[in-house]
């Protein structure tokens, strides 16, 4: 061990781990993995410390980064971590910007980076399945399908190119195609448990089985869901169902002029979604979400502090030829199917008596229609990063409450969110994503992290959003690492007791991402009533 490292009094250490034990563990990790795969310098760790949350970077600084390429390496890493009681935080491809970053939930945790495990193991063009490792990106899988002329279509989140199907599915992300509820389209996992044992879920536990990617359930309790949004194991392989490319694809947009239209929009869309007339996840995006993705900056319209006035929002709407709400959907199938469903959609819009219907032919290459059409057809892009230019300063926290797909519920949530955000001098930048019966209400709390006062306001704002929505029976389905313990409290003590019982059984040394989703064996939540 180098002298400099031994004498570094400022070394970041995992909670409860002495420097002596940490250095011994690092030595063993280097011997196992090689120096190039055990990163300790500030320079190498820096990319993993970039956060967008309303908290100091230091609170989420890792002690080291370890990269692995095989299941056997992961097993050996876990053996060392168990010996020295060192916690690890596992990541794969993306940086999870809207929900925190790649940084660990707790200061000093070692990051286990699986980006080098990037094999596309198998794609079956007949059964429309894929089996991939954690480091595979959507762009990589898309390119593979294109290069091999395989007529299958992906579904992914936005921005998508640098994200990966395994990581996004493990966090129960959503996309914009008919296969948009990603965990529903997952089939089969390989998971390394904390003790190093390897579990294959579903049919994967059967020696020589050929149905691992086609039948989700297997025999007995279904375990796959237990490993999503949890810290019970490290997923090293995952199967997916992919969608056959339809002969005809028809994207369209409906622009609505007034913010108050949201209730009527949802009431029009819901029966079309439930009946599968519109088969994909419909996006209802507000003016600022769409304008920001087209590189609109607030400073172009005003330099005044606080929230943006409704008068300016109307001006942006006019300048960018957008609606107060912008609905994006698509039809898929044969020409006959698309023609029939298109007539039903047009009739629904006409009956409503408002809303401007825009086809791809009419929109051309204009943004944001172009990138929305690409997402709905399974073409990855990075367009949505434009959101971060609206205010600048690198602050972004996604607040994502779920509601019923009812107009009154969505209107209520929109009004609550806008009131609270404006109260703290921030803007309502939001979209609704329509499932079959649910709405994912995604709100990007954008702020300037370089401004301490604005960061403080953003933190207070997010806490108030959680508090006020909880009072109305609303809770988020994902959240950044800064607020994971707070959100876990919303879901009540019984759920937490079960989660911690599973944790004690599978990870008694508490080494796998303690604190993720509020699951931590050192957590005294039971004492909080």
Active-site residue set = 99, 477-478
Give the phi and the psi of residue 515 in degrees, each rounded to 5.
Answer: 105, -20
HSE, CB side, 13 Å, CA atoms: give it for residue 189: 26
| DSSP code, position 231 | S
Look at residues 230, 286, 226, 281 and name the one whose alpha carbon lies nearest to residue 440: 281
> Is the CB of residue 133 less than 8 Å from the CB of residue 150?
no
User: Is residue 167 classed as helix, strand or coil in its secondary structure?
Assistant: helix
Cross-strand partners of 398: 444
Residues with Cβ within 8 Å of residue 421, at least 6 apart in sequence: 307, 427, 428, 443, 445, 461, 465
Distance set, CA 1 to CA 26, 78, 88, 186 (Å): 9, 21, 22, 44
Look at residues 29, 66, 33, 71 and name the one whose alpha carbon lies nearest to residue 198: 71
State how far the Cα of 250 lies from the Cα of 158, in Å rounded to an integer. 20
**What is the distance between the terminal CA atoms of the chain, rounded to a whole angstrom?**
47
Token pair listed for 520 = 């931590």
Provide the sign of the torsion angle of the four alpha carbons 156, 157, 161, 164, taken in this order.
negative
Token pair listed for 234 = 């490290």
Token pair listed for 134 = 């954690």
| DSSP code, position 512 | B
> Is the CB of residue 242 less than 8 Å from the CB of residue 153?
yes
Look at residues 261, 253, 303 and name the one whose alpha carbon lies nearest to residue 283: 253
């Amino acid at each position: 061990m180098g002298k400099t490292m031994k004498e570094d009094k400022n070394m970041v250490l995992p909670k409860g781990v002495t420097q002596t034990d940490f250095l011994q563990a690092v030595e063993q990790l280097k011997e196992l993995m090689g120096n190039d795969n055990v990163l300790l310098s500030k320079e190498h760790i820096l990319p993993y410390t970039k956060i967008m949350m309303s908290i100091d970077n230091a609170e989420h600084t890792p002690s080291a980064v370890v990269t692995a390429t095989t299941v056997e390496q992961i097993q050996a890493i876990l053996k060392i971590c168990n010996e020295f009681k060192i916690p690890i935080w596992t990541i794969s491809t993306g940086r999870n910007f809207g929900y925190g970053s790649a940084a660990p939930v707790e200061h000093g945790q070692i990051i286990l980076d699986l980006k080098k495990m990037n094999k596309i193991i198998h794609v079956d063009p007949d059964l429309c399945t894929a089996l991939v490792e954690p480091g595979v990106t959507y762009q990589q899988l898309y390119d593979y399908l294109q290069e091999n002329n395989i007529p299958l279509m992906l579904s992914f989140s936005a921005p998508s190119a640098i994200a990966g199907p395994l990581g996004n599915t493990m966090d129960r992300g959503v996309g914009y195609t008919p296969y948009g509820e990603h965990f529903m389209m997952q089939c089969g996992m390989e998971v390394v448990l904390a003790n190093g044992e390897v579990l294959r879920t579903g049919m994967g536990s059967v020696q020589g089985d050929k149905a691992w990617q086609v039948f989700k359930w297997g025999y007995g309790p279904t375990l796959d869901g237990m490993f999503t949004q949890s810290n019970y194991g490290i997923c090293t392989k995952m199967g997916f169902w992919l969608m056959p490319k339809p002969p005809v694809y028809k994207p369209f947009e409906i622009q609505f002029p007034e913010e108050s239209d949201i209730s009527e929009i949802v009431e029009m869309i819901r029966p079309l979604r439930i009946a599968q007339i519109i088969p994909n996840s419909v996006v209802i995006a507000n003016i600022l979400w769409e304008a920001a993705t087209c590189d609109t900056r607030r400073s172009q319209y005003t330099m005044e502090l606080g929230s943006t006035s409704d008068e300016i929002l109307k001006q942006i709407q006019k300048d960018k030829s957008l609606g107060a709400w912008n609905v994006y959907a698509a039809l898929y199938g044969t020409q006959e199917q698309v023609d029939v469903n298109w007539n039903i959609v047009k009739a629904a819009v006409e009956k409503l008596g408002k809303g401007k219907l825009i086809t791809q032919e009419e929109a051309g290459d204009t943004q944001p229609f172009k990138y929305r059409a690409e997402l709905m057809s399974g073409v990855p892009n990075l367009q949505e990063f434009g959101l971060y230019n609206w205010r600048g300063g690198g602050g972004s926290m996604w607040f994502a409450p779920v509601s019923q797909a009812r107009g009154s519920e969505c209107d209520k949530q929109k009004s609550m969110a806008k009131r609270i955000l404006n109260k703290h001098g921030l803007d309502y930048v939001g979209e609704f994503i329509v499932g079959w019966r649910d709405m994912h209400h995604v709100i990007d709390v954008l702020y300037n992290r370089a401004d301490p006062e604005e960061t403080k306001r953003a933190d207070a704002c997010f806490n108030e959003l959680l508090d006020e929505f909880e009072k109305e029976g609303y809770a988020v389905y994902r959240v950044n690492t800064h607020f994971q313990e707070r959100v876990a409290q919303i879901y009540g003590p019984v759920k937490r007791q079960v989660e911690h019982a599973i944790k004690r059984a599978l990870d008694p040394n508490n080494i796998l991402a303690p604190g993720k989703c509020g699951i931590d064996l050192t957590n005294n939540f039971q004492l909080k009533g």
